[in-house]
Structure 1
Amino acid sequence: MKREVEPSGSKQSPEALLKLFISGGVAGCCAKTTVAPLDRVKLLLQAHNQHYKHLGVLATHRHVVKKEGFLGLYKGNGVQMIRIFPYAAIQYLSFEQYKRVFKSIFPDHNHLNKLASGSIAGLTAVLFTYPLDVIRTRLAFQVKGEHVYIGMLDAARTMVSMEGGTRALYRGMTPTIIGMAPYAGLSFYGFETLKNLCLEYFPSVFGKPCPQNTGGLVLIIPAKLLCGGIAGAFAQTISYPIDVVRRRQQLYKMLPESHKYDGGMWRTLYVIYRDDGISKGLFRGLTINYVRVIPMVSVSFCVYETMKQLLGLDTGVDR
């Protein structure tokens, strides 16, 4: 397969754009399915579900399986796939395009360009797919025997009719945007930086010849996983409290004291801190999030880079 390498700033062909879109979508689906059980447990703990708020990570995992069966760990994952394919596809495709644009405008600011490109790409993906994230969160928060919604369409209809119209599908949008900018920016920047460092300074350890035999190097799979895991863990730590706020706002109608989370992002942040403190409030569920985010981001970047190589796109060092 011929490798598609185009000069920076040049217009990419529709075929290349489609390949980037598919690569991103496949990467997102693989990553989210890998950590779906951890996602469910994290959500139940993060939002203080009444059945699990007194339990730890492992105990919650066991109770979910006992109460809902093994597939209970994957509740909401079907909707997640419907959301994550376009989300990840748009995010990765946008990152590549923003990176090209910024590089042509600010050629001497490579680090800042990557950070800005990742941040804006994350925001772009969120704007296109946010309602699906809210619906998926509501479905995953339900426990067996206490279902409020019977499926994706029912959840959407109920929320729109009972919670003030279509604005209900965008609850938590503000903290999502605020949290996504540093998370996506640091994730992409961290991976790209680590990738380049590995290929430039440790090529014999972390690199291998490009499959298209062009003389360049690409990361070996363990190196892709390592770079992605480190980048994701760092980015998630910075943005985690905002993620907690976002989940509380998305789920406020399903929480016992819903009125406390109906006052905007900063009010919700204050209420969580006041009621539960830092470790048990703003950073609740962070332990499982570390266990979850490392494989998730690792798999995502690894599959994305591998898909690009299989589809003949350039994945070498980006100077």
Structure 2
Amino acid sequence: MWWRHLVAGGGAGAVSRTCTAPLDRLKVLMQVHASRSNNMCIVGGFTQMIREGGARSLWRGNGINVIKIAPESAIKFMAYEQIKRLVGSDQETLRIHERLVAGSLAGAIAQSSIYPMEVLKTRMALRKTGQYSGMLDCARKILAREGMAAFYKGYVPNMLGIIPYAGIDLAVYETLKNAWLQRYAVNSADPGVFVLLACGTMSSTCGQLASYPLALVRTRMQAQASIEGAPEVTMSSLFKQILRTEGAFGLYRGLAPNFMKVIPAVSISYVVYENLKITLGVQSR
């Protein structure tokens, strides 16, 4: 049974991230480079990327993103299904706090498993044309110049953010889906694509709003580590610096392209996941 969740989750992640890769790269650029003095907008960001590296640069870093997101989604969905069985009560339908615990633990396990690839994804998305010949070259240069610890820059804010994000996202999604099924489709386990899209959109929005500042701090810590001579920054000092120089709004830089990206990405991911589960003969609980 577990391998079916693994396949369904991996396929869902790869499809969703490839469809939304340009918005993901724009989000990273705005998180790192946008400020009060450099007010990067969505159109300006896309123009800058195309001018610097052509249309193909919009998908820069997507290779490592797919390599990262496939196992991440696979591990997250598989862990979620297995943890639900461990924390669940005897009743057939789990309560929302049980889903919240299962989702949080699944998100933490998945992110811990692939975190070095998260750092590589950020570096590849921010690289200039010709800076790295590929993923392996990027990894070798990081290891040679910064050591193994560089692959875990931003790990703490990432974990603090991913636990509420994954917990809220998965719990809200399944709660909304099951509520719709119980009310409108008593004799069916398939709510349909549009209901899945709506549930995925609402759940991802709730999760993102709760965790976005921590995700931004994580990305800046990952990016700053690549600057030679840059001072070592901690999570708390970076929070204070952003609030002092950019205000509270600075903690939400890149939120617009992030929502433009994450809503279709997560929605596509859930639709693909649910349909692959049906294809593979997996029943939801």
Assess same fold via TM > 0.5: yes
Structure 1 distance, partners of 2:90, 2:153, is 36
Higher relative contact order (CA 8 A, sep 6+): 2
- C-alpha offsets along residues 245-301 of structure 1, whole Å, 9 cap, x if unaligned? 000111113459832xx232111111111121111x101111111111110110111
Count matched residues: 284
Aligned equivalent of 1:190: 172
Q: Look up the equivalent residue of 1:225 and give its one-letter code.
A: L
**After the TM superposition, which residues 1-319 of structure 1 pair with which residues of structure 2 at under 5 Å, given as runs?**
16-48=1-33, 53-104=38-89, 110-144=95-129, 147=131, 149-163=132-146, 165-203=147-185, 215-254=187-226, 258-259=230-231, 262-279=232-249, 281-315=250-284, 318=285
Structure 1 range deviating more: 77-86 or 153-162: 153-162
- C-alpha offsets along residues 158-191 of structure 1, whole Å, 9 cap, x if unaligned? 222211x211111110001000000000000110
- Consecutive unaligned residues of structure 2, counting only runs of 5 or more, are none
- Consecutive unaligned residues of structure 1, counting only runs of 5 or more, are 1-15, 208-214
Higher CA-based Rg? 1
Q: Look up the equivalent residue of 1:246 and give its one-letter code.
A: R
Identity among equivalent pairs (%): 35
Q: Is the 8 A contact 2:181 2:188 kept in 1?
A: no
Secondary structure of the structure 2 residue equivalent to 1:219: coil
Q: Look up the equivalent residue of 1:71 and give its one-letter code.
A: R
Structure 1 distance, partners of 2:3, 2:93, is 29
Superposition TM-score, scaled by structure 2 size: 0.94
Q: State the shift of 1:112 in Å.
A: 0.9
Structure 1 range deviating more: 65-74 or 21-30: 65-74
Structure 1 distance, partners of 2:52, 2:139, is 26
Q: 1:257 to 1:159 in 2, by over 3 A?
A: closer
Structure 1 distance, partners of 2:48, 2:247, is 26
Q: State the shift of 1:144 in Å.
A: 2.5
> Whose helix fraction is larger, Structure 1's or Structure 2's?
2
Q: 1:25 to 1:53 in 2, by over 3 A?
A: farther
- C-alpha offsets along residues 15-40 of structure 1, whole Å, 9 cap, x if unaligned? x1111100000001111111100001
The CA RMSD over aligned residues, in Å, is 2.1
Structure 2 distance, partners of 1:263, 1:55, is 24
